[in-house]
Chain A
């Protein structure tokens, strides 16, 4: 019983460590989420295009790529 409690506390502490706000958010790609705006911006700015597509669901369940 004591071991289970200790394991539970350890897991809670680990979760607390992993799930916390980022003090300095890491740099991330800024994605256009639609084709028309992205193409128009590429034409306007003369920048090439990094195009990716993905379904915002896995096995039909949303919230994960």
Chain B
């Protein structure tokens, strides 16, 4: 996420206004259906989606309430303007304020490996739920739901879930029987370390204590953007997207960076 987009999204008033919205953050090149949805939203030629997208939409998920573009700055001059705009939008929907933090689903990323990377990008702990099948997983998720959408924890964790134990391989310390794992992502989000884990049947109080303890113990990493990329490149850590990156600016920048590195070697 570019720095100027981030500056909009960490603003206190924007965060406050966000509670009356359903906030969806997609991973641009990780899902074909989502990619096509965003192409239609931006009305760009097929296969040319930029790497960042912004829009406010009506609850129907179709009606645009603002200009769509690469970031909030396409529609709002600064974070305060975005916060005011969001409040005005929410005021038009009778249920928006009433239904704040009343969600009936965990706000999860669709795959554990992508969730782990997202947690590293956000510098937040990751919660993974795991069970043998979808019905069992729904039961595990239901034990977390109220806490995930509480004022205490909303927005503090990234969530992922799976019915395949092999998806937990990047997570050091994961037990065979755990149903809820709280994970500290590694710097590059390709591995993680289990901070706490709970079996099926853990009480709400036990889960709350584990989440609170993890938040207390979690130390966000200090990342220098350029040093992170340089070291990652030197270590051979590369993220393979599901869909080839299609933002011409990003593709050119990546090629130029690689060419510079190869000349240095």
Q: Which residues of A contact B (CB under 8 A)?
A: 15, 18-23, 25-35, 37-65
Q: Which residues of B contact A (CB under 8 A)?
A: 1-2, 5-6, 9-10, 12, 14-16, 18, 20-31, 33-34, 37-38, 41, 51-61, 65, 86, 89-90, 93-96, 99-105, 107-110, 114-115, 117-118, 120-121, 124, 148-149, 154-156, 158-160, 185-190, 215-223, 225, 228-229, 232-233, 237-239, 241, 245, 250, 253-254, 257
CB distance from A58 to the nearest CB of B (A): 6
Whether B26 pairs with A65 at a CB distance below 8 angstroms is: no
Whether A53 pairs with B188 at a CB distance below 8 angstroms is: no
Whether A45 pairs with B95 at a CB distance below 8 angstroms is: yes
Q: List 18 A-B contacts (CB under 8 A).
A: A19-B220, A25-B156, A25-B215, A32-B25, A33-B26, A42-B60, A48-B57, A49-B22, A50-B21, A53-B28, A53-B54, A54-B25, A55-B245, A59-B254, A60-B254, A61-B233, A63-B117, A64-B223
Residues in chain B near residue A63, CB distance under 8 A: 117, 120-121, 185-190, 223, 228, 232, 237
Bound together, the chains give a CA A22 to CA B24 distance in angstroms of: 25
Whether A53 pairs with B223 at a CB distance below 8 angstroms is: no
> Looking at B54, B59, B96, B215, which has the most chain A CB atoms within 10 Å of its CB?
B59
Contact of B155 among A29, A40, A45, A56 (CB under 8 A): A29
Residues in chain A near residue B105, CB distance under 8 A: 32, 37, 40-41
Whether A42 pairs with B27 at a CB distance below 8 angstroms is: no
Known contacts being A41-B103, A51-B26, A60-B254, is A46 close to B59, with CB within 8 Å? yes
Whether B155 pairs with A28 at a CB distance below 8 angstroms is: yes
Whether A54 pairs with B56 at a CB distance below 8 angstroms is: no
> Looking at A27, A42, A57, which has the most chain B CB atoms within 10 Å of its CB?
A57
Residues in chain A near residue B149, CB distance under 8 A: 30
Known contacts being A46-B59, A64-B225, is A33 close to B15, with CB within 8 Å? no
